[in-house]
Structures are given as C-alpha cells and as structure tokens.
Structure 1
C-alpha cells in the first residue's frame, strides 16, 4: 500500500479535529505538571538571578561565565541544568505517552476498560523516558558537532516512540528501526517533522514578541500549551504513518 503525505495529512487533521478537546486537555495538563515541577525544583537564588537577568545572553561566552563562577555556583548551575533536562524529559514522556495511549484506545488496540488504559499508560512510561533520554543525547551531540547531522537526526529519530509503543523491539532496536524507516521514507516523515520544528520556532517568536505587553508567566504558559499541541499533531502524524506501514 502506497503511503502519501496527502493521505497522512488528511488522517491527522481528521483525528485532531475529532479529538481536539482531549488533546488540548492533555497539553494543558502537561503544562501544569511542568510548572509544578519547575516550582518544586527551583534553583539557588543567585543562579535564578543570573538566569533572570539574561547573563547567559550578555556574557561573551558561556565558558567565560562559568569560569567566573566559584565552585558552589558551578555546582548549583550543574544541578539546575540536570533538573531542567529531567523536567523536559518527564514532560515530553508524559505528553507522548498520553497521545499514543489515546490513539491506541480509540483504535481499539487497548481493551475497553479504564484499568487497561491506565496500565498501558503507566507501563509505557519508564521505557519511553529512557528512549527520550537516548534520542535527546544523540540529537544534541549531532547539533554540537555538526548542525546538519543534528537536524537530520531530529528527522529520523522521532518515529522511535511509535515503534516502541507497538513493542516491535527494545530501545536500541526502536531507534535503529526509526532511523531506517525514516530515511527510507524521508519524503513522508520529513514534512511532518519540519512542520513541528518550524511551527515551534514560529510560535515561540510570535509569543515572545508579546512579552513586553503581557505578563511573562501567561505568555510562557500559553507558549508551552501551543508547543505541546503541535508536538501532539506530530505524534498523530507519525503514528498514522506507522500503522499504514505495518499493514501494507
């Protein structure tokens, strides 16, 4: 069965329009969770003042800023960076797992009961968290070493959570299969991922442009919800692709 971008776009739009209330609810819930975790693990007051005052942006270089810190400040900055990464991974994992579980439930791939739905959601979280951790490291290394390979990795790795949800292999196997399938069908996967990347960039610029006229916390709250919705659309698009692929 031949897979086309047009068909995937139509299927994604249809599913999103039918489940838009649930997707918005999930996006808002994940945003609230992210805010709660941010409040729970607030950094040292001095580190907070550095971040708030945009010292990272105004410094000649990040290395220069770190070199001017004492041991305690470096330790607090490292701890804050690790916490931020963990919060990001936790939010991304819960959002991805929620959308995938929703699709599986509506596609009758999960038995029609709340218990089975909750079990499927919770059992998927640990492995998905580890998968997200691995893919984020791989993508960031690609971006640090060479920008183009980093962007390419961003395109060929997002299919791995979908593959993992079907239990077609472990973490490494899901990553390898994602890279193989995405590269083979890059003309189909690419537009979806690029939509996510450019959509996130455009919305971020749009919301930040209103930072001086609206409350910063409200802007960031709305920005996070919008980004979560766009990411949900990407998950739906990739899930539909894989469903068609394994049935063809």
Structure 2
C-alpha cells in the first residue's frame, strides 16, 4: 500500500471535522494548564521586561545578551528559563497524551471504556514528559547552531511520541525508529511539520501585532489556536503511522 499526502490530508480533515469540539475542548484545557502554571510560579517581572524590551533585541547574540546582565539577573533568567521550559513541556505533554488517547479510544470504542482511556493517559504522561524533554533538548541543540538543523531534527523526531504510545517501545527505541521512518518518508513527515511551523509563525506574527485588544487575551487566543493546529499535526502523524504499520505487516 502506497501512502500519499493527499490520503493523509483527507483522513485528517475527516477526523478533525468529526471531533473538532473535543479537540477544541482539549486545546482550551491545555491553555488553562499553562495559565495555572503561570499563576503558581510567578517569574521576576524585571527579567520579563528585559527580555521583551530592546536590550534583548539589540544584542548581537544570546551570549552577548547574558554577558551584559548582572549576577542577579543571570540567576533570575535561569529560573525564568527553567519555569518556561517546564510550562511548555507540561502543556505539550498533556496535549500530546490527550489527543493520542482520544484517537486510540475512538479506534477501539467497542473494546475500550472511558475509564480505561483515562488510566492509559495517566500511565503514559510521565514517560511522554521525559520523551519530550529528550527530543526538545536535541532539537534545541540543532537550533543553537543553525535554523536548518533544528528544523531537520524536528522532522526526524516528530514520530517518536506516536511510536512510543502506539508500540509501547522504550524511549530510545522510539526515537531511533522515528528517525529511521521519518528519513524514509521525509517528504510526508516534513510536509506536515513544516506546515505546522509556518502556521505557528504566521499566527504569532498576526496576533501579537494586534494592539487593539488586551495582551493577555491575545496570548490566550494564540495558545488555543496553537494547540488546535498542533493537535491536527498529531492526528496527521498518528494516521501516517497507522498506515505505515499496516504496510509493514
């Protein structure tokens, strides 16, 4: 069986159109989780203002930016960075786990109960969090050198959470398989990941340049939209892996 982008596109659109309310609900819940973490762990507003104003923009590099900071600012920046990483990984893990659980539940609705799906979600979340930590570290290392290696690694590692949830492999084995499969089908996986990156960039540029509404409200709307489109990417990748698994049998 030959897998095509058109087939995956049609399957993804069909699934999203049927489950858009559930996807929207999960996206909103994920956004509220991010907001809750923000409320529980208050960052130093002075550091946020430094990052958002021209001191960061006018720096030639990240290292130049850090070297111009005081010792106190460096410590606070480290705390803020750790906090943002935890927030990002927590919300991404919950979104990934929830969408994967939704797909598996709908695929096995006759055999699987809702309580079993909730238990499945609770079981995979800790491992998914660790997997996200590993893959994001690898991807960020790629982005530290040049943009292209970061994008390339994002494509190669995109399937790792799907494989881990679908086949119950170890974390390292899931990463290894993701690299092997994504390299073989880089045109299909790359199309989905690159489209997601473009949508993310366009949404950020458009919404963050709207000055007529409250900044927090715009951030809230942006996060929900990001979560919805990321959910669509997960569905696209999951559907691809299901078709790939059938062809390999």
2:167 maps to 167
Matched with 1:90 is: 90
1:52: how far off?
4.6
SS in 2 for 1:166: helix
Structure 2: gaps of 5 or more residues: none
CA distance in 2, matches of 1:47, 1:106: 45
Question: Offset of 1:58 from its aligned partner?
Answer: 3.6
**Cα distance, 1:140 vs. partner?**
0.9
**3-state SS of paired residue (2:167):** coil
Deviation at 1:41?
Answer: 1.1
Is 1:214 the counterpart of 2:210? The answer is no
Q: Which residue pairs with 1:62 in the alignment?
A: 62
Question: What RMSD, in angstroms, separates the aligned Cα atoms of the two structures?
Answer: 1.6
The aligned counterpart of 2:178 is 178
TM-score, normalisation: structure 1: 0.94
8 A Cα contact 1:97 1:125, kept in partner: yes
Q: Cα–Cα, structure 1 residues 208 and 45, in superposed 2: closer, same or farther, change >3 Å?
A: closer
Shift of 1:42: 1.4
Q: How many residues matched? A: 247
Deviation larger for 129-138 or 65-74: 65-74
Map of 2:106 onto structure 1: 106
2: CA distance, partners of 1:18 / 1:183? 31
Per the alignment, in what secondary structure is the counterpart of residue 69 of structure 2? coil
Confirm or deny: 8 A CA contact 1:196 1:234 kept in the other structure: yes
Most deviating of 27-36 and 47-56: 47-56
Whether 1:240 and 2:203 are equivalent positions in the alignment is no
Q: Runs of at least 4 residues of structure 1 off by over 4 A?
A: none
Secondary structure in structure 2 of the residue aligned to 1:19? helix
Please give the alpha-carbon distance, in whole angstroms, between the structure 2 residues aligned to 1:77 and 1:43: 9
Find the residue that maps to 2:219 and give its secondary structure: helix
Alpha-carbon separation, structure 1, partners of 2:243 and 2:140: 30
Greater alpha carbon shift after TM alignment, 69-78 vs 190-199: 69-78
